[in-house]
Amino acid sequence: MAKPAPISISAADKAAALKLTPVSRETEVRLDRYVDLLMAWQAKTNLIAPSTLPQLWTRHISDSLQLLDLAPNARHWLDFGSGGGFPGVVLACAMAEYPGASVQLVERIAKKAAFLREALRVTGAPGSVVLADIGDYVDSLKAPVDCVTARAVAPLHMLLGFAAPLVQRGAKALFLKGQDVESELTEATKYWNIKPLLHPSRTGGHGWIVELNTIERR
């Protein structure tokens, strides 16, 4: 049986992504290295949905980069359940331009954590990978955090529980969500007092960014 043809990265999709979310040439080079590594690992480890690979730059990279404009002064980021590196590794590639900046990537699956460590090494992006459950890590975290992120990790009401201690210490939370965001917000407000700001995703579709600056348990 013939092997399926390898999926190539679309130059048009990359150009569209960089038009939506422009970056410096240096950050673009780091992102190119990350994409090359992701494609190599994807062949043996399912890091992202194969159906989204033809739109990798717009669907995943630009989707991650758009968070930067919502927290322009954030330099210390914490990404819950980083998986294939969205948004955590992408943010780290951008943060390389700021001395002292860093992104902490929390991942509980060892194989994915290994990929994330290699991604930071290959790109030279500032960050660290923590192999742990999110809740356990947050409970022990002492370092300052400016912004907390998550994408396709858990329902919103669970993310709020993880993020609450950090937001109460001054962090902003930015959670990338899909078309069910309203039902997730309805469920979350059963347990939490929140004042969410909803931002439609620049990448189209039914994506939303939930911005939170206060999280209090009911």
> Which fold, 64-217?
Rossmann fold (3.40.50)
Residue 4 has pLDDT above 50, yes or no: no
State mean pLDDT over 13-34.
97
- What is the model's pLDDT at position 91? 98
Q: Which residues face 107 on adjacent strands?
A: 131
Q: 199-217 pLDDT, tens per residue?
A: 999 998 789 999 999 999 9
Average pLDDT over residues 163-178: 97
How confident is residue 6, by pLDDT bands cut at 50, 70 and 90? low
Q: What is the pLDDT of residue 151?
A: 97
Domain ranges of the chain: 64-217
Distances in Å between the Cα of 165 and the Cα atoms of 3, 110, 121, 148, 185 are 49, 26, 30, 11, 19
Tell me: the pLDDT tens digits for 103-121?
999 999 999 999 999 999 9
Q: Give the pLDDT score at 2.
A: 41
Tokens of 114: 């290994």
Residue among 13, 67, 68 at smallest CA distance from 35: 13
Model confidence at 84, in pLDDT bands (50, 70, 90)? very high
- Segment 70-80, tens digit of pLDDT: 999 999 999 99
Q: What's residue 114's pLDDT?
A: 97
